[in-house]
Structure 1
Amino acid sequence: MTARPLTTIGFDADDTLWQNEHYYRLTEEHFTRLLADFAEGAKISERLLEAEKRNLAHYGFGIKGFTLSMIETAIEITEGKVPASVIAKILDTGRDLLSHPVETLPHVRDTLETLAGKYLLVLITKGDLFDQERKLAQSGLGDYFDAIEIVSDKTAVTYRRIFSKVGDGPERAMMVGNSLKSDIVPAIAAGSYGVFVPHELTWVLERVEEPKDAPRFRRIVHLGELHGLIDGLH
């Protein structure tokens, strides 16, 4: 009997299973309004992005690092004159991000219900540990997954390690997500299938070109198409 080509499916969380970037965008808009007396909104956003890039190596991904980057940007934009009251409001916006409601995306629950039990399902997400655990708990999706992996970054090494530990190795695994940079390209480099599910909002630091020539690259419009794609592999 020929072994099944696919036994394990990894899912990204933010903007694949539930909304996330939407809340960051709203927070950034509020942040630019707080500093409107010191610079134009586009300039503030540009400086914030630069701070985020610098700080990724220090704070990692997630809300806490984003909040610290906002504070750093406020200090830079105002040349150290930012009022303490504005810093307090920035901290408040960061706390608000940590308590935003969890809104699952279309087709998520039906898709997980269909695949659970047929395949090993693994949630693979990066970001702040407490925040990701909170969102997973509030989503009510945790029981569908055989394993949960909250990681500091997603690389080919990450996927090889997880799919070898949880499943039958990366060659018999698939990663599904909205980020080409984090979910798709490194998973394919590890030897897995990479299924790209575009989201209308994607953080600029997660954007790269689609690996269209990669034999294991797939693209679907929404998660409702995933089961049919998987059936086509068998």
Structure 2
Amino acid sequence: MPVPIRTCLPVLLLSATLAAHAGWEGEAEASADFSRGNSRSDAWRVDLDVAKRTDHDRSSMLIEARRERAASDEGAVELVNERYLVSPKYERWRDGDDRYYGFVDPELKYNRFSYLKHRNSLIVGAGLRDAVFERGKLTLEVGPGYRRTVHSDDTRSNAPLLVVRNRFDYPIGDSIDFFQTLQLEYSRHEDLAELGVGLKSKLSEHFSVKFRVDWTYSEPVDSLTRRLDTESRFSVAYEF
């Protein structure tokens, strides 16, 4: 049974403390999300993103828990989904130059109420890190993979997958950064494109606030339905 979402924030904060004592670096984040478009829902979300590196490799772990509510046709607010995601990732490079690297990125996703009950994938690819454009830095990754999906009616689908993604960071001032993310996915069962832009403002050495907007377009190959969602997210982050 999934961990109740109300317990996730203290658990993640404890995990962040333990990870920091173990020599890992990262960020714990609590967010309020507002989706409009194909869906109309509000959500609370907590994330923990930790990493540890050596001269030749980097290991990281992303954990996410999200609780989503929406209004029914009668006007009552109902729980429509709980999502849990775990994504360990391993990167390795040669000769101490981490700008060019290979990576292995598995992802395990569980949706409590969605028609996509389980979605597990594995991506193996190559990346370019911190390419400099004036003061900005760009990270780009591309790779093939494989995805296995279990639907709510217990039907299963398997398909090869191609992923292209990037992140661009640009400092605006001493304490404010602009960032942009892009993820493109193509598989036999669904195409997806997600573009995000946002601002991050540091409040202190460890705390910051963020605001971002994501546009997500998905098109299941086996239907004529096209979906476009806009999600606004406000978050508070603790860096260690």
How would you bin the TM-score normalised by the shorter chain? under 0.3
Tell me the TM-score normalized by structure 1.
0.27
Higher RCO (C-alpha 8 Å, min separation 6): 1
Superposition TM-score, scaled by structure 2 size: 0.27
- The structure having more radius of gyration, on CA atoms, is 1
